[in-house]
Amino acid sequence: SRANAYRELRSNSLALADYARAIETNPVSEWAYLNRARLYLNLGQIESAIIDLSQSIEFNPLISAAYSLRAEAFLILSRQASDDALSSDLLERSIAEYAQAIQLDPTNVDLYLSRGDVRRDAGRFELALADYSRALNFEPESSRAFLQRGNLYYAMAQQRVRVANLERALDDYTA
């Protein structure tokens, strides 16, 4: 569509106007909402993107891209959150959205890698490892999956070293 072409050309105001016209013409067009949400994400208008993605999902709950984009939006919000509890909640929402996208598109390697990244950020290392390994099951030569899994192994080893040091410090302190 012309709106998508404008988006690709970064003519954002023209793209937004065309998406608005498309939605006005067909208020249940899940693709118009989805594509406008992509633009909102690129513009940093995360809440507007989530609203449009929710509309897209309401009209067609079988589009995995809507869930994965909403997961991405929740991840962005979690990184912007100043409150740890809110950030943690948003990470969990992101994980749940990726799970829904994976349910709809179970062989999509990028979805497993992205969910693995969010799980890693949430400190759920074993589950992140499972996602990275699952991605490698589908795409055994994925350099991205190997890189992310390697970085996770490094983070896990560092965490074990930190825990061992803290336990040693606690032992010394209480002795």
pLDDT in tens, 119-152: 999 999 999 999 999 999 999 998 999 999 988 9
Closest to 96 measured CA to CA, from 120, 115, 124: 115
For residue 132, count other CB atoms closer than 10 A to its CB.
27
**What pLDDT, in 10s, does the model give residues 60-71?**
999 999 999 999
In this prediction the pTM is 0.86
* Helix ranges, the chain (H): 2-8, 12-25, 30-43, 46-59, 64-80, 84-104, 109-121, 125-138, 143-174
Mean pLDDT of 62-91: 95
Distance of CA 98 to the CA centre of its chain: 7
Q: How high is the pLDDT of residue 156?
A: 86
Residue 175 pLDDT > 70: no
* Cα angle: 151, vertex 95, 131; to 5 degrees: 45
Q: Please, what is the average pLDDT of the chain?
A: 92
* Cα angle: 70, vertex 73, 76; to 5 degrees: 155
Cα-flanking dihedrals φ and ψ of residue 154, to 5°?
-65, -45
Asked if 116 contacts 132 with a C-beta cutoff of 8 angstroms, the reply is yes
